[in-house]
Structure 1
Amino acid sequence: MSGVARVAERSLRQGGSVDGRPWSADPYSDALRNGRGPLFLRRADGWLLPLEVERWCADADAADLEVLRRCEGAVLDVGCGPGRLVAALGVRGRRVLGIDVSEAAVARTVALGGQALHRSVFEPLPGEGRWGTVLLIDGNIGIGGDPRALLDRTAQLLAPGGLLIAETVAGLDVDEQIHVRVADAHGTVGTAFPWARLGTPALLRHGDRAGWRAVDQWSADGRSFVALRSRTACSSTYSSAEPPNSTAVSSSQRVAKPSADRPVAEV
């Protein structure tokens, strides 16, 4: 693992910050609890990227549903946020688990009836090597600030022939690895953490070097997406994965318990 990847892993194990302050103390958590922004990612030079909190906290939209239509087998939503994709897959009878380093995100996912773990993608996860699809939506290809490390980790999570669907920066060939902070409109900022921003050409370059092949690209509602498979994997659909362990969080009122042959409960 590269030095950058080791830093990213340590950071994410600490909850997404470089000094150990958890995301639960971040303006991001307050925004998720309230279901609204404004909220931004702020770079050291003052550049601001608006975060679409209201969209994330709403129901899955048409662009989201096009992503979900392409999912195969059991789905792992990495950086699931407030859980709209987990919930939408669940009500369609799909097996799905969300993971997020934000306690508020996990709580909101559970409130929607989904299953979620408060965990980093770089930590041990249930069903490693058996997920049919991994999602990196809403810019989550940037997790950890090292796209190669994240692509390598995703390959470990997927079954042979599994599918990675990632959202990229629309309309730009950006390839940026930076440290950012979450900031609200009142000037409150969280601690710095590593992040990356990739346009579709950049993701394809990183994927090519990491042994992935592009199988699809599309745009919807001003958003851009890429589907990738490992070149070395045979093309087939897998649907088995371990159920979440005892640290998984779920809604007992709205989600049935997992059965022995299902990775997560169905809504």
Structure 2
Amino acid sequence: MEDDAIGAMLRDYRDGGDGYEIVERDDGWIGISAGGEYYFSGPEEWPEIERRAIDHVEGRVLDVGCGAGRHALALQGRGHDVTAIDVSPGAVEVAEDRGVEDARVVDVADVAEAFDPGSFDTILMLGNNFGLVGTAETAPERLRDLAEVATEDATLIAQSRDPVVTDDEHHRAYHEKNRERGRLPGALRMRVRYEVHASDWFDYLMAAPDTMEELVADTPWDLSETIEPDEQVTDPGGDYVGIVRTNG
């Protein structure tokens, strides 16, 4: 990111316990994030589906889009060898300061150049970070690159959400606009803002389980199962975690 808005927010939250980033979509919609507290939370504060998902982690881990390192730190505490990556230099700095042992500034699009083949047993994309595959067009290449740095029996733990599970008229209008221009309904063009900082515009994808299954179909991965909120959760909001395994 040319202007590291998320990094600036995480540094401020680390230093003063305050900070919220703003998400700006290309249709003009503005949303406020969950705030710095979300990025610094411990497992006891995570959504239930994330706590269940990390029980599927095995061996050496690549944490994609690590933020302030909340997942990496929890997995290090369980004895895993974790490499945490993020496109934000500020996020990597904060993750290192919090104790992440191996944090690097790496874009998910560059993982095949950054790591040796077969380096990781688990690829982690929690916090809705399956969205970092970008678009329907870029997703297969990024998924193949992740498979290249994974072992032959690796697991990809990918959190996303069904974008159409909403009553928000602005979101529904955006989904329809996407369909009209040949894009998936959950294809977002967005940037992150914080105080005077604004990131470059980037693509981010919200994918329902059947969409995730379609996106991995022409790659070395297969969607094995999904982890969805307990039935007693009153407002699941379409969130889920896909457990995706190598098929070779």
TM-score normalised by the shorter chain: which range applies? 0.7 to 0.9
When normalised by structure 2's length, the TM-score is 0.75
Cα deviation, residue 49, structure 1 = 4.5
* 8 Å CA contact 1:37, 1:52 repeated in 2: no
Matched with 1:92 is: 78
User: Residues 209-253 of structure 1: CA distance to partner in whole angstroms, max 9, x if unpaired?
Assistant: 33422212012474310011132x2xxxxxxxxxxxxxxxxxxxx
Cα deviation, residue 125, structure 1 = 2.4
Taking a change above 3 Å as real, the CA distance of residues 206 and 52 of structure 1, as seen in their structure-2 partners, is: same
Question: Is structure 2 residue 27 aligned with structure 1 residue 45?
Answer: yes
Aligned-partner Cα distance in 1 for 2:199–2:163: 29
Question: Is structure 2 residue 106 aligned with structure 1 residue 119?
Answer: yes
Aligned-partner Cα distance in 2 for 1:166–1:83: 16
Matched with 1:34 is: 12
Aligned-partner Cα distance in 2 for 1:130–1:48: 39
Taking a change above 3 Å as real, the CA distance of residues 75 and 192 of structure 1, as seen in their structure-2 partners, is: same
Aligned-partner Cα distance in 1 for 2:97–2:197: 27
Question: Is structure 2 residue 147 aligned with structure 1 residue 137?
Answer: no
1:183 aligns with one of 193, 196, 200: 193
* 8 Å CA contact 2:25, 2:189 repeated in 1: yes
Gaps of 5+ in 1: 1-15, 234-267
When normalised by structure 1's length, the TM-score is 0.70
User: Residues 44-85 of structure 1: CA distance to partner in whole angstroms, max 9, x if unpaired?
Assistant: 111235433321222132443322211111110011111000
Aligned-partner Cα distance in 2 for 1:83–1:229: 24
Aligned-partner Cα distance in 1 for 2:212–2:199: 27
Matched with 1:194 is: 203
* 8 Å CA contact 1:100, 1:117 repeated in 2: yes
Q: RMSD value over aligned CA atoms?
A: 2.3
Question: Is structure 2 residue 65 aligned with structure 1 residue 79?
Answer: yes
Aligned-partner Cα distance in 2 for 1:161–1:49: 39
Aligned-partner Cα distance in 2 for 1:218–1:202: 15
Matched with 1:254 is: none
Q: Secondary structure at the match of 1:87?
A: helix
Number of positions where the alignment pairs a residue of Structure 1 with one of Structure 2: 209
With 189-198 and 200-209 compared, the bigger mean Cα shift is at 189-198
Question: Is structure 2 residue 242 aligned with structure 1 residue 226?
Answer: yes
Q: Secondary structure at the match of 1:225?
A: strand
* 8 Å CA contact 1:39, 1:51 repeated in 2: yes
Gaps of 5+ in 2: 166-174, 176-183
Aligned-partner Cα distance in 1 for 2:155–2:51: 16
Percent of counterpart pairs with the same letter? 24
